[in-house]
Amino acid sequence: MRARYSLSLLGAMLVCLLAAPAWSQATYEPAFDAEVVVTRDDDGKATLDVYADIPYQNLRFLARSVGFEASYVVTAEIKRLSDDGTLAGLVTSRTWTRDVTVASYDETLGEGSDRSVQGVGVEPGKYVVELTLEDGASGRVFAQEIGTAVREMSGPIAMSDPVLLDAYDASGRFEPNLGGSISTEQEAFTVYYELFAKEPSALQVTYAVTDRSRQRERPSFVALLGLAPRQREDVGVPVLVSEPLDAPAGRTPAAFRVETENLKVGDYTLTIRLEDSFGILVAEAERQFSVRWMGLDAQIADLDNAITQLRYVAKDRELRALRNAPTFEEKVKLFQEFWSRRDPTPATSRNEQMEEYYYRVAYANERYGRMRDSGWTTDRGEVYIRFGEPDHVDDKPFNYGTQPYQIWSYFRHGRQFIFVDEGVGDYQLLVPIWDERTRL
């Protein structure tokens, strides 16, 4: 399932709060989703499949006798990158036009979108695909760039880029998930790829999902396969599956189902490795994706409460300004500006840092709440919100002469925190967060 936002998350929340159509227009951010997938044609040459998907809300529809019509033009310029990462010139370009017709005005404002794809043959190398999309009625132009590396695809065994799917059936019909966002509400998602073999081959395929923040720490795949599931999670690899795979001659579709139960909110890399019967690597491909929390609107619906929960990230003067805003509208404006300054991707309609922060607040409330205290105000809740999921938790239950306690280790931050149970799950931090004794 692909997450799509026609308004910024902040804008959507503020529209609900203020119920003002004028604000909705002010926060409107045109955008389209795109993806570039490396695959192979029937002659064994590498091909870039360029996908573009634009929400109906970002097109201008005109009334016609048969309903409402819109049109747009997509241009993809493929530019090669030199070894030092600089642009080495235009290789080729492709332009295509799309006409869209819907039956009713409500559909132009709904969740629908128009998707198209074009294949472009290229040589192996590194490229930047510059995509522009021009709306026919308004003349507005949207643009984005996607970097990609094209592997050699003419060998005896080759593999396309893995693709996350919105839909997939046994007949081979599928719809790519453009943008690579997986909702926390999904139980699982499908990864699709294609194998190309010159002759029948017995292979071993390994699927690994790695926390991107821990990727440099990831052991070799041989070492990973020798670890227990809990140990794999400790090194940032929550999913690891290795199984035999028979590839007949020609093109063969393949799919892998990823259960999301063990995937927390964050950014991940999916790696697919193919080895022959001698254990020699014959092909490898990666796909980055993100698991996103979809509960932000509900979490910040109470603006005063959302402002109070900023105390772990906001400065005292910022909190005072928010709390003492003369009007509700001014409070909304300051709240939006606070998170806009911290948006890691200001050119997009999502604020990932805001999502992550309030996800941690919600998770702490669910996991560490007590009868008299909200989870986010507890010691464990504060540490979780500030530092995220621990790399390792050593849970020490009750023992003779010793109170139960937990040790949370954050190897990536060089910190370790000890919580002592003062009674009925009331875990208190042994030393303050910023005490030098918490350093590893």
Question: What does the pLDDT look like over 254-282, one tens digit per residue?
Answer: 999 998 888 888 889 999 999 999 999 99
- Residue 250 is predicted with a pLDDT of 93
How many Å apart are CA 11 and CA 24, to the nearest integer?
7
Pairing of strands 125-135, 67-81: antiparallel
Place 183 in a pLDDT band, splitting at 50, 70 and 90. confident
Decide which of 3.20.20.70, 3.30.450.40, 3.40.50.970, 2.60.40.10 is the CATH code for 155-293. Answer: 2.60.40.10
The runs of H, that is alpha helices, within 204-346 are: 221-225, 229-234, 296-299, 303-308, 316-323, 328-340
- Residue 2 is predicted with a pLDDT of 32
CATH classification of 31-152 is 2.60.40.10, yes or no?
A: yes
How many Å apart are CA 308 and CA 25, to the nearest integer?
28
Average pLDDT over residues 120-128: 94
Average pLDDT over residues 49-67: 93
| Pairwise pLDDT comparison (7 vs 140), residue with the higher score | 140
Short-list 251, 253, 246, 290, CA closest to 270? 290
CB 195 within 8 A of CB 252: yes
- Residue 170 is predicted with a pLDDT of 67
CB 303 within 8 A of CB 332: yes
Average pLDDT over residues 369-397: 90
**pLDDT at 25 exceeding the cut of 50:** no
**pLDDT at 193 exceeding the cut of 80:** yes
In the structure encoding, which two tokens stand for residue 327, read together? Answer: 């009007």
The runs of H, that is alpha helices, within 173-226 are: 221-225
Average pLDDT over residues 354-376: 90
Q: Which residues have C-beta within 8 Å of that of residue 245, sequence separation ≥ 6?
A: 195, 203, 204, 205, 254, 274
* 222 CB neighbour count, 10 Å cutoff: 8
Query: Residue 284: left if φ>0, alpha if ψ -120 to 50, beta else—which one?
Result: beta
Share of the chain above pLDDT 70, in %: 92
**pLDDT at 9 exceeding the cut of 50:** no
- Residue 176 is predicted with a pLDDT of 82
Weakest-pLDDT range from 47-51, 232-236, 311-315: 232-236
CB 429 within 8 A of CB 419: yes
- Residue 293 is predicted with a pLDDT of 82
- Residue 172 is predicted with a pLDDT of 64
- Residue 350 is predicted with a pLDDT of 76
Asked, colleague to colleague, whether 31-152 and 155-293 share their fold, the answer is yes
- Residue 14 is predicted with a pLDDT of 37
Weakest-pLDDT range from 2-11, 53-62, 135-144: 2-11
How many Å apart are CA 379 and CA 373, to the nearest integer?
11
Average pLDDT over residues 194-219: 92
Average pLDDT over residues 209-228: 89
Q: What are the domain boundaries of the chain? A: 31-152, 155-293, 390-440
How many Å apart are CA 340 and CA 333, to the nearest integer?
10
pTM of the entire predicted model: 0.73
- Residue 254 is predicted with a pLDDT of 92
**pLDDT at 35 exceeding the cut of 80:** yes
Contacts of residues 351-358 at CB distance under 8 Å and 24 or more positions apart, as own/partner, are: 351/8, 351/9, 351/10, 354/9, 354/10, 354/296, 355/9, 355/265, 355/292, 355/293, 355/296, 356/265, 356/293, 357/313, 357/385, 358/293, 358/295, 358/296, 358/299, 358/300, 358/306, 358/309
